[in-house]
Structure 1
Amino acid sequence: MKIKITLVEQKGTCPCHRGHKVGDTFDFDTERGKLCPMAAHVLFPMIDILRYGGELKSNVFCCPDVDTINVFKIEKVD
């Protein structure tokens, strides 16, 4: 199973310091190095839950950068 991560919204007042833009999509297995380390740190536990058969109440999560607030969607791809 693959995990696809998509930036779906930016709510903060500053652009992403890593340069991410709405619509950017990442394959967690092959492109995690391109993903902002702060976002990857937040998303990793949710990705683990999905990989090991768990379910999430929501599939959207935001990065911890209060000035940017990137909102990411996580999806399982079979």
Structure 2
Amino acid sequence: MARGKRPDIRLTITGKLGPMGCHRGHHVGEVFDYDTERGKICPMAMHCAFPYIDILRYGGSLPGQPAGTAEFCCSDADVAMVFKAEVIDEDT
């Protein structure tokens, strides 16, 4: 990664909690590039994702999670979609 360039972030839907389907139509297995496709992601999910993405982009980590990753749920009480945010290493 070039100095000063923020790392790319990939968001993957890895699970679902609750009996209902996602109100936005998301499903397990969907993958999004945070910078180019965030407009396709439900605003409730993006509201929850932003702090985790900020932590990862600035070199932070979350307790109990592998380096460069953050797993979180959206805030929809009917169906909490589980997301995984990952730093994409340009060197791989």
TM-score greater than 0.5 by the shorter chain: yes
Shift of 1:65: 0.5
Alignment of 1:6-45 (within 5 A): 6-45=12-51
Kindly indicate whether structure 1 or structure 2 has the higher relative contact order, using CA contacts under 8 Å at least 6 residues apart.
1
- Higher relative helix content: 1
The TM-score with structure 2 as length reference comes to 0.81
Q: Which runs of 5+ in 1 are unaligned?
A: none
Q: What stretches of structure 1 move > 6 A for 4+ residues in a row? A: none
Task: Identify the match of residue 74 of structure 2 among 63, 68, 75.
Answer: 63
Alignment root-mean-square deviation, CA? 0.8
Larger Cα Rg: Structure 1 or Structure 2? 2
Aligned identity (percent) is 56
Q: How many residues align?
A: 78
Q: Which runs of 5+ in 2 are unaligned?
A: 1-6
